[in-house]
A and B are shown apart, each in its own frame.
Chain A
Amino acid sequence: MNDLQEIPTASKTSTTSVDIRNVSFNYGNTQALKDITLDVRRNEVTAFIGPSGCGKSTLLRCINRMNDEIVGTRITHGEIVVDGINIHDPSVDVVKLRRDVGMVFQKSNPFPSSIYENVAYGLRMRGERDKAVLDQSVHESLQAAALWDEVKDRLNESALGLSGGQQQRLCIARTIAVKPTVVLMDEPCSALDPIATAKVEDLIWTLKNDYTFIIVTHNMQQAARVSDKTAFFYMGGLIEFGETKRMFSSPSVKKTEEYITGRFG
């Protein structure tokens, strides 16, 4: 399943999935992330919280190197290790990295094609031509994303005809169809109504046995509901990181407490 380089046997057994070590990141001359060190465990849900502009989305986009596409950005210090491999190593093919580190965006963005093609896209891009394999993958992924029952009769209709919540679940289905190990979610529910949000959260909860989730959210309750661990960012720095339950009941840093209780943000 892993398309990265040969995995050292040690890291296979290790419970660390994404290891962020002393990462600093710049947009041009502005420092967006300052010396972040963080360890994301396998099959856990880790939430990144913090006020706007604190760098949580930036860090998320560093993990699958989506920031490569933005001109003038670079990691100035530190490294990110996914499954034991430094993702900035010159031998890493970023296309293969992204097959293992999937991403769901804030705004649902299905392609302007059929539901079926949206889910099959990732596998097709990988050269899969066998109709049976594709059919099965589409079925499984849609089922995993709890969307199958709603769309099974209109797989060939345009994905743009789905509701906002359905579109976002379609994007999740599309992401897990390529069987990544890590799924990054950038405020996946910010554009959804409460019912659709609940559905997506349930989904994350059921899928976490198979995937490692990192979720950026503005919604404190959501972080409390779905995550095992929470990282609180402020002004580009990591203020506190720990068990969600503990952080929300007894934060050890004053800033965290102020943010969680809504004093600022």
Chain B
Amino acid sequence: MASEKSSNAKTGHKFQRSGFSYEQLIRFFFASNAGLSIVILTLIIAFLLKEGLGFFPGYRRDLETYRIAGLEFVDISRNNLTAHEQLTSLLNRAYYAEVNGKSSRELKRTEEASALYNAFTDQVGPTRDLILNNPQAETDGNAGMKAALLNNYEKQREKALQKPLSTPHLTNEERQQLIESLRARPPEATDDPPLVAALAQEFVAAQQKHAAPLQEFRTVIDDFESAGFDLGSIVMEMTESVTVTKEQLQTADILEKDRKTLLAAASGEKDPVERERLLADAHAALADKPDVETPMQALLERKPECVRLHEELKTASSAAFDKIPQSLTESDAKRILSAARKAWPVFITDLDMAPGKINAWKHTDPVPLSDAFMSFLTGKKWVTGGEWQDFYGILPLAIGSLMIAMIALSIAIPVSISAAIYVNHFAKPREQALVKPIIEFIQAIPSVVLGFVGILVFGTILREISVMDAFQWVPGFPIEERLNIFTAGCLLALMSIPTIFSLAEDALNNVPSAYAEASEALGASHVQTAFRVMIPASFSGILAAILLGFGRVIGETMVVLLVAGNRIKIPDFSEGLGAFFQPSHTLTGIIAQELGEVPLGSVHYRALFVVGIVLFAVVLGINATAHHFVNRAKK
């Protein structure tokens, strides 16, 4: 400011300011570096917004096509049909669970015998192959060699029979019989040992025996299934016609886009000849508007038929569903059947609402931009690259990210904060010098390596634990997928422990030691001092540590991509806490997985950018909150 004022002093006086000083140069150097980072951040945000915001108009057009072409109309019937298929599959599963559960003794017996037999053949396999597939031994009639190979085989056989697998469901006699039959087995034999074959037959017989009383249930399931056939065939017909319309619309869109590009090029072109040529091209590209009205009228004429078929489906499936057995005896079957009973009222309500929806549906309803917004923010489906219709709903990803973060934090917070308290208040100096670097060392493990360990070690161990009888009370056990929310959460906990630990330890360290002295001088014990004075005083700092850990968990990509299972579906909360053992996808994972494969500038590409913006905003918000707490702690 001062330099801008005009000077009244004579030049050359003894306090004269000399031009551009060395100090200013240094100042400029540092200022430019600080400025650079701000510029880069601004550029990143600008880029994200530029790429991302184009998503909503594009997605709106997609949804419009979805409506104009009639896909939306078909989906009303289609969704109900899918629900019906899922119910059928549940009933089938319940049926087989009941039959197999009742034959479980036979199942185990045949499994154990086969396992023993298979282990035996695996072990003697190589030596046996040598005897059977040795052309030299055949042609030369080399008796010595043959004998040596046979001898080798017998040795291997005895070795294999020394410690056969355990077979708790076979009687000792049966076991002995099986082992003897294996011992007496000639190398060239190919048929199963008699006991194995007999047990397999026993199992089939048991299945048949137990299926007999369930004959009625079987018929009911078949009736239930066939109730959907009529609706299925009409949906298939409609699907074909609307897909054609949709493709026409999309082609027209692409041509239109090309034409606009040509026109833009023409208006910028200075050479009149060239411009004429471009304009002519643009005119040529002017596509006829595809005829959507005719197929649409044909589709709308099917409304009454659709309504009728819905009502028929309802009547037929209700009649069948009423006849299913009140209860089954096997626990697995009971569980599946009750899941089906839970899904039933939802299905029926949807069926009841369908005729109304079908009649009210209009292909001319406009699709406002807000629909694209809402469909993105509250959409329960993220479907891409399908032949039918792409949906970009962020909900399954956001829920996956949040559930993983919940697991990670509920493990990491107690562990890392207790560790920080221990190191800061109770550890001896030597322990302190040991524990702190070790915990912080976890940070040095590259996340891809951690993910690797997660898949191979942790996922496998978790699944093995989940099938143990002792842990069946845990909701969601036995787990179906080795890679799931819980596995990812555990690994992320491991990754966030060093972050939370370091920051929490710093926060505890920043509490003035005068508080500790005062407290101890008042006759408080060490534990009392730690818990009544030191930890409360560092509360803000600890909260900030937790928030920053949360930010790290939400933003982590590699581990979740490798370990979370990557199923894009909102977990099924009907299992309660068991939902945490289902696979899931995440906000970060979807970007990493799909960005490399999408066409540049497509709606899908832009959708991923919007997911990036959401992620950016969330992490920014978390860090800002954490910052606020850190500042409060400093006061």
Contact = CB atoms under 8 A, between A and B. Distances in A.
Q: Do chains A and B stick together as partners?
A: yes
A71 B524 CA distance: 20
Given A111-B515, A112-B537, A69 B522 contact: no
Nearest to B526: A95
B516 to A, nearest CB: 8
Given A125-B528, A125-B532, A109 B517 contact: yes
Nearest to A160: B635
Contact of B512 (A64, A109, A126): A109
Interface in A165-215: 171, 174-175, 178
Most chain B Cβ neighbours within 10 Å, of A66, A111, A122, A178: A111
Contacts of A122: 522-524
A111 B537 contact: yes
A174 B524 CA distance: 13
Interface in B432-453: none
B519 interface: yes
B12 interface: no
A175 B522 contact: yes
A126 B523 CA distance: 8
Contact of A121 (B429, B514, B524, B537): B524
A95 B518 contact: no
Contacts of B532: 121, 124-125
A124 B521 CA distance: 14
Contacts of B518: 105, 109-111, 171, 174
A64 B528 contact: no
A73 to B, nearest CB: 14
B507 to A, nearest CB: 13
B520 interface: yes
B533 interface: yes
Secondary structure at chain B's binding surface: helix, strand, loop or mixed? helix
A138 to B, nearest CB: 14
Most chain A Cβ neighbours within 10 Å, of B429, B514, B522, B533: B522
A98 B514 contact: no
B525 interface: yes
A107 B429 CA distance: 27
A9 to B, nearest CB: 25
A103 interface: yes
A84 interface: no
A99 interface: yes
Interface residues on chain A, size class = 20 to 34
A111 B519 contact: yes
A257 to B, nearest CB: 35
Nearest to B525: A95
Contacts of A174: 518, 522
Interface in B519-546: 519-525, 528, 532-533, 536-537
Contacts of A110: 518
A29 to B, nearest CB: 18
A55 interface: no
A121 B521 contact: no
Interface string B535-567: 011000000000000000000000000000000
A50 interface: no
B46 to A, nearest CB: 43
Interface residues of B, number: 18
A66 B520 contact: yes
Interface in B473-532: 512, 514-515, 517-525, 528, 532
Nearest to B428: A71
Contact of B522 (A71, A98, A113): A98
Contacts of B521: 64, 66, 98, 102-103, 105, 175
Interface in A50-109: 64, 66, 69, 71, 95-96, 98-99, 102-103, 105, 107, 109
Given A69-B520, A98-B520, A105-B517, A111 B533 contact: yes
Contacts of B537: 111-112
A203 B520 CA distance: 23
Nearest to A103: B521
Nearest to B516: A69
Contacts of A113: 536
Interface in B256-279: none
B517 to A, nearest CB: 6
A114 B103 CA distance: 71
Contacts of A111: 515, 518-519, 533, 537
B523 A96 contact: yes
A98 B529 CA distance: 14
A103 B514 CA distance: 12
A96 B517 CA distance: 15
A116 B532 CA distance: 15
Interface in A104-149: 105, 107, 109-113, 121-122, 124-126
B523 A95 contact: yes
A96 B524 CA distance: 9
Contacts of A175: 521-522
A125 B512 contact: no
B392 to A, nearest CB: 49
Nearest to A104: B521
A45 to B, nearest CB: 19
21 contacts: A66-B517, A66-B520, A95-B525, A98-B520, A102-B522, A105-B514, A105-B518, A107-B514, A109-B514, A109-B515, A109-B518, A110-B518, A111-B519, A121-B519, A121-B524, A122-B522, A122-B523, A125-B532, A126-B523, A174-B522, A175-B521
Interface of B: 429, 512, 514-515, 517-525, 528, 532-533, 536-537
Q: Which 8 A-B pairs have the closest CB atoms?
A: A99-B523, A109-B514, A103-B521, A122-B522, A125-B524, A98-B523, A109-B518, A125-B528
Given A69-B517, A69-B520, A105-B517, 6 more contacts: A66-B517, A66-B520, A95-B524, A99-B522, A125-B525, A175-B522
